[in-house]
Amino acid sequence: MNKAFLKRYVFIYKKDIALICLFVVLFLISQLSQPFIIGNMLDHALMNDKQTFVIEMVVLATLSLVGVFSNFAFEYLSGVITQKVIYQVREDIFRKYNSISIEKMNQYSLGDLLQLEINDMENVSNGIFALFKSFLEGIIAILVTIIIMLYINWLLALGVILLTPLSVIMSRFVGKFSHTYFKKQSKLQAELNSISVEAISNGDILSSFNYEEESIKKYIAKDEELSKEAKIAQFSASWINPSTRLVNNTIYAIIGIAGIIMISYSSNNVLISLLAIMSVGKLSSFLSYTSQYSKPFNDISSIIGEYEAMKASIDRMMKFLNEEDDVDEGDKTLNNLSSIIFDNVSFSYDKNKTLIEGFNTNISSGMKVAIVGPTGAGKTTLINLLMRFYDPDSGIIKYNDINGKEIKKSSLRSNFGMVLQETWIFKGTILENVRYAKRNATNQKVIEACQRAHLDEFVSSLPQGYETVISSNDGLSEGQRQMISIARVMLANPSIILLDEATSNVDTRTEKLIINSFDNMTKGKTSIVIAHRLSTIVNADMILVLKDGNVIEQGNHEQLLKKKGFYYSMYISQFK
């Protein structure tokens, strides 16, 4: 198993594990001593020693009670530690969601991330409990059984010990073969989750394009692939238990025959009597221990499937948890951001394909800057670079003449208010959703921000007004969602406002009202607008026209129209 995982999450409970081991030992001693006592009772019954027989019967009853209590305590503590481990792992994974960079997060599919918190967590929970219940109990049972067998008849015990490796070898051989398929099964499960999430999240899109059947076919194809790998994994793992049982049953038969021979010839053969004295009661006890000795091996082999599934899940978890946190080398704070300089900035998501190359521009205090261009030109990428979700491959972005890498990311981002095309609403009241931008804002301040965003008309129609609980699944229109997002920015009142087609989902009347509100809010501030509808940015101080990652034209609306270049063709095409 992953040593880092054990050290980080399991071995921190050393005292609890030691207590579990104590209860396991007490349970096993109470259980494993019973065949020995019963064997002695059989011999004493044959010798008509009633007094010793009664004493041994009382001891047997006492041990049974100790065994019941110890087993309960062992299983209870095992469950508690398992839940403690899962609690900590789940918390760390969620913390990692919020600590790694956006760039790293985007390398994982949503299905992968859901797999970590659902299937993988369940695999680890089942696996850890199985290890405590079957593996730990099995190992201690084997050790205790060996000691008792050596006491009863060291010669037969030696035979059992020498034959045992056959069972272990068989188990390891089959287990190693099945691990490969369990890893494939885990990977395919994540891919299947991704397909499900896409279908659930975009049900309206699927229906509008009549894509339901194709989506089902895609799901079934991946499900069949997963089913095939899962069958192979389970088939290979299922061989472990029968194969080890075959070996153990063979050992049992060999020891039984050897014991009978020893009883038969011990009275006539002095050498056999000297090596190991054997009676009917002792043979009965020893055969019980031989069967008991093989049981832990069978139990351990029966959880190989769970163990392999847990091992694959732990590997996935640790890979994610070992991702580097978002690096923030800055130590300077930034207040009242006013000017931004792009100095020969180049960047690409795919290092083999340049997206933005040699980008230069100056954005001064109070300017309204619009960024336009065809899809894929690099407009949204500029926003990602501005917010330091990604850093340039080369070149520098300066904020108030300070290199962006010298500024704390939290300080830098607090100067920006961002409204994107995609909106995010969580379950809570409208007040809580808007207050997300400024947690200490009063209700009055939140309401004023909503009024400036023209959200109050919509809110007044709701039964509980601003106290109405909403969520992403409550049937809000895209326009209403976006107005809530806009109200957040208005409440935050940042130094610079970033708008990525922020009014794309509202009607024309509301769009005009919001644009007027933004104009009032951005007086004396810098604003950067990404726009596809050029009618919304005709009053911009500067328009950057991007194509293939380069600024091919720059100027205000009137200047660019006079050039009759790329911007002119874009503008004319929208009004034909």
Q: Say which amino acid occupies 289.
A: Y
Phi, psi of 37 (to 5 degrees): -65, -40
Mean pLDDT, rounded, for 42-65: 79
Place of tokens 């006013």: 338
* Full-model pTM: 0.68
Q: Which parts of 492-558 are beta strand (E)?
A: 496-500, 526-530, 542-547, 550-555
Beta bridge partners of 530: 371, 500
Please say whether the beta carbons of 367 and 542 come within 8 A.
yes
How do residues 317-370 score in pLDDT, each as one tens digit?
999 999 888 888 888 998 888 889 999 988 888 777 777 888 888 888 888 888
User: Is it the case that residue 561 has pLDDT exceeding 80?
Assistant: yes
More confident residue, 181 or 143: 143
How do residues 9-37 score in pLDDT, each as one tens digit?
888 888 888 898 888 888 888 887 777 77
H helix or E strand, kind and range, residue 187: helix 165-201
Mean pLDDT, rounded, for 163-170: 69
Domains of the chain in sequence order: 3-321 (1.20.1560.10), 340-573 (3.40.50.300)
For residue 506, what pLDDT is reported? Answer: 64
H helix or E strand, kind and range, residue 263: helix 240-266
- 180 HSE (CA, 13 A, CB side): 6
How do residues 255-301 score in pLDDT, each as one tens digit?
777 777 777 765 555 444 445 566 666 777 777 777 777 677 767 76
Confidence at 407, pLDDT banded by 50, 70, 90: very high
Q: Cα–Cα distance between 99 and 324 in angstroms, integer?
A: 9
Q: Please state which of the ranges 40-54, 70-84, 129-143, 460-474 shows the lowest mean pLDDT.
A: 40-54
Q: Looking at residue 548, what DSSP letter applies?
A: T
How do residues 439-476 score in pLDDT, each as one tens digit?
888 999 999 888 888 888 888 888 888 898 888 766 67
Instruction: Write the Ramachandran bin of 210: left for phi over 0, alpha for psi from -120 to 50, otherwise beta.
Output: left
Q: Cα–Cα distance between 174 and 45 in angstroms, integer?
A: 46
Q: Cα–Cα distance between 292 and 38 in angstroms, integer?
A: 15
Q: Looking at residue 107, what DSSP letter applies?
A: T
For residue 167, what pLDDT is reported? Answer: 67
Please say whether the beta carbons of 174 and 244 come within 8 A.
no
Q: Cα–Cα distance between 202 and 219 in angstroms, integer?
A: 15
How do residues 420-446 score in pLDDT, each as one tens digit?
777 788 888 899 989 988 888 899 999
How do residues 490-539 score in pLDDT, each as one tens digit?
888 888 888 877 666 666 776 676 676 666 666 677 888 887 778 778 88
Please say whether the beta carbons of 250 and 170 come within 8 A.
no
How do residues 62-111 score in pLDDT, each as one tens digit?
888 888 898 899 888 888 898 899 999 988 988 888 888 887 888 887 77
For residue 301, what pLDDT is reported? Answer: 67
Average of per-residue pLDDT values in the chain? 80
In terms of residues, how long is the chain?
576
For residue 27, what pLDDT is reported? Answer: 86
Please name which of 477, 526, 472, 459 lies closest in space to residue 499, comparing C-alpha atoms: 526
For residue 274, what pLDDT is reported? Answer: 46
| Residues 6 or more apart in contact with residue 547 via CB below 8 angstroms | 373, 374, 377, 566
Please name which of 486, 530, 528, 529 lies closest in space to residue 506, comparing C-alpha atoms: 486
Q: What's the Cα-to-Cα distance from 489 to each of 393, 412, 517, rounded to whole Å?
A: 30, 16, 12
For residue 126, what pLDDT is reported? Answer: 86
Q: Report the Cα 2 to chain-centroid distance in Å.
A: 16
